[in-house]
Amino acid sequence: MTATPYETAWGALGEPWAVAVETTPLPDLKLAHVSETLAATLSLPGLAAGSPALRAVMAGAQPLPGAQPVATVYAGHQFGQFVPQLGDGRAHLIGVHTDAAGARHELQLKGSGPTPFSRFADGRAVLRSSLREYVASEALHALGVPTTRALALGVSSEPVRRERMERAATVLRVAPSFLRFGHFEYWAYRGQLQQLRQLADWAIANWFPQFEGRYADWLGDIIDRTADLIVHWQTLGFCHGVMNTDNMSLLGLTLDYGPYGFLDAYDPGHICNHSDEAGRYAYDQQPHVAHWNCARLLEACLSLLDPDQDRALTTARALLERFPTRFRATAGRAWRTKFGLGEHRDDDDTLMNGFLDLLARGRHDFTTCFRALPDPDRLHDLILDQAALDTWYRQYRDRRDDERADTVAREALQRSANPARVPRNHLLQLAITAAEQDDFAPLSRLMDALSAPYQDADEFADLADLPPAWAAALSVSCSS
C-alpha cells in the first residue's frame, strides 16, 4: 500500500473548476448495505466492507487519507430551461482510488452536506431516494447498462424535511468520472473559453487519450456512447425521469438516479416522474431528448471545433447527425436480440412493432412478456387478445425459424437480453418501508435478486411477479 492511497479528485485542475469543501457529519450512521462484489473489485485501502472506517467515511465524518473533498461547478438545461449555475450541491468528490489494474475510480459521497453550490437547499439526501439510487446503480450494472456504481448505503437518525420528515442517508458512488455535459455548458455560457478548453483537455487526457487534440472525434465518441446508452434504456424499459443536461454523463453512463422507473404495463408515453407534467422525459421521448442534449453539448463546445464560427457550426451539425444514425443501428441490433432474430430483414420493424402494439393495447407487462417470448403458452396466459396474439405469433415463428438458428442457443441469447427481474417501484417501496424501520433484510434480498437478473431463480419468484394493485398508486417525484 502506498503512503497516500487516495488522491484529491480533479486535483490537476482544482479551482475554479472544483472547490475544496469539507463534508458535514451525520449522527448515528448505520451501514444499510454494502455492495460486496464492488468492494471486492475495488479493494479500497482501509475501507473493508463493514469496517468502522467505512462507516465513518459514509457518515461524512472522516476524509480519505491523502485526499481533500471537493465539489465541482456545472450548469445545465433543466426541463429545457438553461440554469447558468448548478454544481455538486449535496455531493463531495472525496477522493480518487487507483486499483491494482491501474484504473482510476472517483469516489463521490452523496448526501454529505452543503457546498458552495447548494443554493438554498440542505445538502442532504433522504433514505427513500438514496436507497432507490443505490439499488438501481448496481441493478443496471448487472443488467449490462453503463452506469455509475454504488458501493454502500448509509442511513442516519438525522431528520430531513421534504413533503414529510424523513431520515438522512448517504450513498458512496463510484465512477471513472462524474463529468457531465453541464460542466462544459457552465464555462461556455460565461464566455470563459480558456477554462472550457482546459477542462476538455484534462477530460481527454484522462478518459479519452486516443482523441488528444481531436475535439471533433472526441465529441463524436461522446455522441455514440450516449446513443448506445439510450438503446440500453429503451430495450429494458428504463425511464430516467430527469434527463437534464446536468444529469448527462460525458462517459455515457447512467447518472443521477432520481424518479426513475422501469415500465410495468407497456405504455410508450409512460411518464415515470410525477413532477414531469408535460411528459418531456416520457419513455418514448428519451432518444429525442438525448439527441437534443447532445446538441447542447456541441453548442457549448463550438469554440473547440474551429476558430471560425461558420466552420465550427458545419462540423457540429455533421456530428449531431451521428446520433440518429448510431441510434438506429444499435437499436436495431438490440431489439432483434430480444426477439431472437440474428439477421436484419426489411420487415423486422413491422414484426417487432406488432408485438409492442399488442402489449400497448392490453397494457401488458413489458418485462414479463419479453421474458416469455420464446414460450407461446406462457404468452397466452399473459396476453388477453388471444386471436391477435396467435396471428402475430405465427408470423413471428415463421420469420424466426427461417434463420434455422439452433433453438437452445437462440433462447439463451434471448434470455440474455430479456431480464426476469428489474427494480420495479413496488419492490423498491417494500425495501424502503422496511429500511425506514431499520430492517435492511428486504433490501439485501432485493440486491441479491437483482445481481443476476437474467437467471431464473425460484427463490426470487415473488420479485419477478406482476406488480400488485397497490403499486398503481405509487408516485415518484423530483423531491429527494
- Per CB under 5 A, residues contacting Mg ion are 247, 256
Non-local (6+) Cβ contacts of 381 within 8 A are none
Q: Which is nearer to Mg ion, 329 or 478 (CB)?
A: 478
Q: Which residue is nearest to ligand AMP (CB)?
A: 89
Question: Which of 5, 31, 62, 122 forms a contact with ligand AMP (CB under 6 A)?
Answer: 122
- Tell me which stretch binds ligand AMP (CB under 6 A): 62-70, 87-95, 289-297, 433-441: 87-95
Residue 90 interacts with ligand AMP (CB under 6 A)?
A: yes
Output the 3-class SS for 258-276. CCCEECCECCCCCCCCCCC
Q: Which residues of 424-441 are buried (b: 16+ CB within 10 A; e: fewer)?
A: bbbbbbbbbebbeeeebe
The dihedral through the CA atoms of 94, 97, 103, 107 has a sign that is negative
Minimum distance from CB of 112 to ligand AMP (Å)? 10
Residue 77 interacts with ligand AMP (CB under 6 A)?
A: no
Query: What is the C-alpha to C-alpha distance for residues 415 and 409, in angstroms, rounded to an integer?
Result: 10
Minimum distance from CB of 89 to ligand AMP (Å)? 3
Q: Which is nearer to ligand AMP, 241 or 340 (CB)?
A: 241
Q: Which residues of 48-71 are buried (b: 16+ CB within 10 A; e: fewer)?
A: ebeeeebbebbbbebbbeebbbbb
CB neighbourhood size of 353 (10 A): 12
Q: Which is nearer to ligand AMP, 242 or 428 (CB)?
A: 242
- Tell me which stretch binds ligand AMP (CB under 6 A): 88-96, 99-107, 147-155, 362-370: 88-96
Minimum distance from CB of 465 to ligand AMP (Å)? 31
Report the site for ligand AMP in 213-272 (rule: CB under 6 A). Answer: 242, 247, 256, 258
- Catalytic annotation present for 224: no
* DSSP-based three-state secondary structure for 81: strand
CB neighbourhood size of 310 (10 A): 8
Q: Which is nearer to ligand AMP, 41 or 275 (CB)?
A: 275
Minimum distance from CB of 116 to Mg ion (Å)? 16
Q: Which is nearer to ligand AMP, 274 or 333 (CB)?
A: 274
Residue 87 interacts with ligand AMP (CB under 6 A)?
A: yes
Q: Which does 366 bind (CB under 5 to 8 A by kind): ligand AMP, Mg ion, none?
A: none
Report the site for ligand AMP in 92-121 (rule: CB under 6 A). Answer: 117-118, 121
Q: Which is nearer to ligand AMP, 123 or 261 (CB)?
A: 123
* DSSP-based three-state secondary structure for 130: helix
Q: Which does 87 bind (CB under 5 to 8 A by kind): ligand AMP, Mg ion, none?
A: ligand AMP
CA-derived radius of gyration, the chain: 23
Minimum distance from CB of 218 to ligand AMP (Å)? 25
Burial class (CB in 10 A: 0-12, 13-18, 19+), 5: middle
Burial class (CB in 10 A: 0-12, 13-18, 19+), 233: buried
CB neighbourhood size of 363 (10 A): 12
- Tell me which stretch binds ligand AMP (CB under 6 A): 13-21, 93-101, 122-130, 334-342: 122-130
The dihedral through the CA atoms of 234, 240, 242, 246 has a sign that is negative
Q: Which residues of 364-399 are buried (b: 16+ CB within 10 A; e: fewer)?
A: bbbbbbbbbbbeeeebeebbeeeeebeebbeebeeb
What is the total count of residues that contact ligand AMP (CB under 6 A)?
Answer: 15
Residue 89 interacts with ligand AMP (CB under 6 A)?
A: yes
Residue 162 interacts with ligand AMP (CB under 6 A)?
A: no
CB 123 within 8 A of CB 113: yes
Minimum distance from CB of 17 to ligand AMP (Å)? 15
Minimum distance from CB of 199 to Mg ion (Å)? 18
Question: Which of 77, 92, 97, 124 forms a contact with ligand AMP (CB under 6 A)?
Answer: 124
Minimum distance from CB of 89 to Mg ion (Å)? 9
Question: Which of 63, 69, 95, 123 forms a contact with ligand AMP (CB under 6 A)?
Answer: 123
CB 141 within 8 A of CB 236: no
Query: What is the C-alpha to C-alpha distance for residues 244 and 309, in angstroms, rounded to an integer?
Result: 26
Catalytic residue among 224, 246, 276, 365: 246
CB 129 within 8 A of CB 168: no
Q: Which residues bind ligand AMP (CB under 6 A)?
A: 86-90, 117-118, 121-124, 242, 247, 256, 258
Q: Residues with catalytic annotation?
A: 246
